[in-house]
Each structure stands twice: as C-alpha cells, then as structure tokens.
Amino acid sequence: MDRITIVQHDNIALVAPELVDYELMCLNRNDYKATQFLDLDDFWGTVCPRLRDEKTWTETISKHWHFMCIYKIDTDEIVGTITLHSTSERNRRADLWIIIFSKHWNQGIGTQATRLMLQYAFELQGFHKIGLSVWADNIGGIRCYEKCGFKYVWIHKEHFWNYDHYVDMVDMEILVSEYKELKEEWFTL
C-alpha cells in the first residue's frame, strides 16, 4: 500500500485522499444508489458536473479537514469516503458523514470504517462527542451506526423530500466514554 494511512485495522484503512482519487469520486458521486441517502441540495436531481466536482475535490483535499478515503487493503482500492464535519473545537464535537460506493455494500466495510473514524476522532483528535444524521429509511446505515455504539437522540419528522415522499431524519450520537467501553471488543485480533 503506497498511501498515507491514518488508521487501519484488519483489511480496512482510512487514508489521506490524493488527486488521483478524483476520477473514482466523480464516478461514484453520480451513482444514485451510493448517494440516495445524502442531503445534497446542491446536486439534487442533477448530474454532478465534472468541472465543478474537480474544483470541489481539489479544494477538499487541500484543506485541513478530517476527510479520508476508505481503502480496502486486500483489493488495493478506494471503496468510499468518510469525514468529520461541522466540528467545534471548543466543545470537542463533530458530525460524521460516510459514503460507501454501492458495489461494496453489505460487506461490513461501513462498520469497520466508522469504528476506525471513531478511533481517530476520540483517541487521536481528542473529541468528546460524535454525532450524525441518517434518513429513517436507511436501515443498513442505522444498523451500522448501532453496531458502532451510536444512540438515538432525536427524530425530525418528514425532514427530507425523497422524490415522491417525505422521509424522517434520525439524529444519533456517541460519547467518548461509550466508545471506550466498546473499543476493546472491536479491535481485538
């Protein structure tokens, strides 16, 4: 693996994004299945234009964000992205956002990557709380977050328009103390 690795366990690593990853990101950003549960108002109902994406990608990897690519070691490929955003350094909290490319769904990659991001957030960055918002009909996502120790906080009724109906949004969070109780069973070999 010739990548800058931030954290890794077993077959999954969170790696620094590189400019060469742009083509793959552009292709998957236009994959409805991979992005159907995201609140992408800027792109809703449109194809993401290449020039705009390339500019956005260049800006994203050049800023000091907690943005990483999810790397599958055995197949030597990027399978998604994960980031901490809306960070508050004063309150030591952030929100998690993850995209697993649709051809890699149902392989446990989201769970592994989320646990690695929690390790990065709590142990390397000193965060106190990580939150997230998930569409209520994203059953796989909710199951993943529950396995990673996230607890329900709030439900926003009919929060997102999903082409022909409204969908509730669920807020979830995990505290560093809750993470510490779970991490030993996650990262044992």
Q: What is the pLDDT of residues 92-103, one digit of tens each?
A: 999 998 988 888
Indicate if the pLDDT at residue 121 is higher than 60. yes
Q: How many CA atoms lie within 13 A of 35 on its CB side?
A: 19
pLDDT of residue 151: 97
Q: How far is CA 144 from CA 81, 100, 113, in A?
A: 15, 12, 10
pLDDT of residue 41: 47
Would you place residue 137 in the very low, low, confident or very high pLDDT band (cuts 50, 70, 90)? confident
pLDDT of residue 65: 66
pLDDT of residue 44: 44
- Is CATH 3.20.20.70 what the domain over 5-186 is classified as, yes or no? no
pTM (predicted TM-score): 0.81
Average pLDDT value for residue range 74-101: 89
pLDDT of residue 3: 87
Nearest CA to 185 out of 158, 151, 131, 147 is that of 147
